[in-house]
Structure 1
Amino acid sequence: MRCPFCAHEDSQVKDSRSSEDGAAIRRRRQCEGCGARFTTFERVQLRDLVVVKKDGKREAFDRRKLERAVALACRKRDIAPDRIERLVSGIQRQLETRGDEVRTEAIGEAVMAGLKALDHVAYIRFASIYKDFSEASDFAEIAGEVGEAGEQLVSAPPPDRSDKLL
């Protein structure tokens, strides 16, 4: 592993452990050239994904773009960073199981589904960019959908648990 400080080619692993969600291995390394310490993360990659854009162009899947989009939607929300990381890892695994190529629409829909389950405000923020909202009524429409889903959960009768009390 190349040192980010002096670009020396060799480093020694000092400590390894699983990340919080278990989807990556965190390694503490020390450069054999300058002695600086740094952290790396290793993730399982099922396959190399190619993203097919709306105009037909193809580019390599970039996890950092996905992380930035989700983080931007979740900005200033009370969402733990590990929950965001689990969401991004789950979306990436889901996309990797679909095949070698994935359309941008599939990525957007997967993010929207994940954010809707995670945080309604983050979901609306992402939807406003993804669906290119141009009027206030666009916000009202999607907020109404989120509100209806929440009302259904609240108004649904609780499951009968009387047999569990015995």
Structure 2
Amino acid sequence: MVIATYLHDPVVHLSSALGLTLLLGAAALHKLHDRQGFARVLDNYGVALGGMLPHGLRLVLARLLPWLEMIAAVGLVLSFWMPWTALLAGLLLALYALVLVASVARGAVIEDCGCHFGGKPQAPSMALVWRNVLLLLPMVNLMGPMQGRPLVWFDAVTLGFLLCSVAVFYLLANLLISNRISLRAL
């Protein structure tokens, strides 16, 4: 299969690893920079999930999650650890998707999901759940083998443009999801 060949290309592997690294690293830095805000988000989830997230666990998660994200981000850059850290990244994204699904399924009204980088709060929604499920695809790609072809200078250019495009697409998708939820509230 031709598509399987391209999925195992080193540029696709590197872009998957670097894209998840940027996402998880930025999320970890955001949580570490605003520890109070992240603790409030976890408290809101604790209330919304009706006791499924006890206070003690919220305190542990507030301290542990940013560092797990940072470990996954750094590990994804180190190629010989890639399958294990890709699994950690996938587990974190799946955990976030499950918490979003649980809060949406319970009909919880949470003002801020805690999964944005801007100043505009974003409520949990099924669109965010699907976003996290789609973010699992690069992790699945990283679990497979990478071709042994050597990288050339054009691969670096391609990788740079690909990462910029993916970052813009991710931010645009978040903006569209946020605007859709804001319009529905009107």
Q: What is the TM-score when the length of structure 1 is the normalising length?
A: 0.29
If asked which structure has higher relative contact order (CA below 8 Å, sep 6+), I would say: 2
- Higher fraction of strand: 1
- Higher fraction of helix: 2
Q: What is the TM-score when the length of structure 2 is the normalising length?
A: 0.27
